[in-house]
Amino acid sequence: MPDLYATISEVDPSVQERLAVVLEMRAADARQLEMLESYLSEINFPPDARVLEIGCGTGGVTRTLAQWPGVSEAVGIDPSAVFLSKARELGHAIPNLSFEKGDGRSLPFDDKSFDVVVIHTTMCHVPDPEGLTAEAYRVLRQNGWLAVFDGDYATATIATGDCDPLEACIHAFRDGFVHDKWLVRRLPAMIQSCGFDVKPMRSHGYVEAGTGSYLLTWIDRGADVLLQAGRIGAEKAEALKAEARQRSDNDNWFGHIAFASILATKPE
């Protein structure tokens, strides 16, 4: 099953609405915010920086960027009109924040028009990540910064033992919602090949232990993928979702994925 995010503008609006809720859940997650602030703090934002987020979704990261010290303007771009509607609703009170509809592989911006470009949990959904990176390079000014943050989805697991039945949901989630689970491991070479000076990659662990939260949505979505593919029936799908929630309710939940951030600059 292809990654829904790769063609998000073509997905049924009701499905996009449900995904928008998940995006905001992740944006509010304390550990997710900690990882975001960790890599943003390594960027040397120039005074009055103009910042672009590619693949902004509902705008959680763009809202943070607009209020980051030294940032005069933050722009988010996304192909989903549903996501952008929610982004504008949530960000309406932030004066230096705006959103545009568009594809990151063909940005509607002039050359050298931004000081920082952020690509946060988006690159793994793009069928042409090299094209996206090249566009980021084009719109950055000399000495501008690129920040890419994404999941190393090959590491994702919720298993608490061999042959854990819930692990099938994680595999199915990757099939239905991630275009390339190995992308993070190729990022340094790919970004460098586009002309950037690449900084060392950093790893960020994300763990849910005891009570589940964001990763529980992976079980729901993975079970739905299995159901839609005809691999399980409706009763089994509901049983998998119930098992995940029972573990969480009983304080026996575990989930983990490694994320990675990489920074790069555009040379003079």
Calpha distance 7→135 (Å, rounded): 19
Tell me the CB-side half-sphere exposure of residue 260, using CA atoms within 13 A.
20
Quickly state the pLDDT bin for 240 (edges 50, 70, 90).
very high
* 6: pLDDT strictly greater than 90: no
Tell me the CB-side half-sphere exposure of residue 75, using CA atoms within 13 A.
18
Q: Is residue 85 part of a domain?
A: yes
pLDDT tens string 13-28: 998 999 899 899 889 9
Q: Is residue 139 part of a domain?
A: yes
Q: Cβ(75)–Cβ(62) under 8 Å? A: yes
pTM for the whole structure: 0.93
Confidence at residue 9, expressed as pLDDT on a 0 to 100 scale:
85
Q: Is residue 233 part of a domain?
A: no
Range of 29's domain? 4-156+179-206+258-265
Tokens of 253: 């939940």
Q: Is residue 51 part of a domain?
A: yes
Q: Is residue 188 part of a domain?
A: yes
Confidence at residue 268, expressed as pLDDT on a 0 to 100 scale:
86
Q: Is residue 219 part of a domain?
A: no
Q: What is the CATH number of the domain that holds 69?
A: 3.40.50.150
Calpha distance 225→171 (Å, rounded): 10
Q: Is residue 166 part of a domain?
A: no
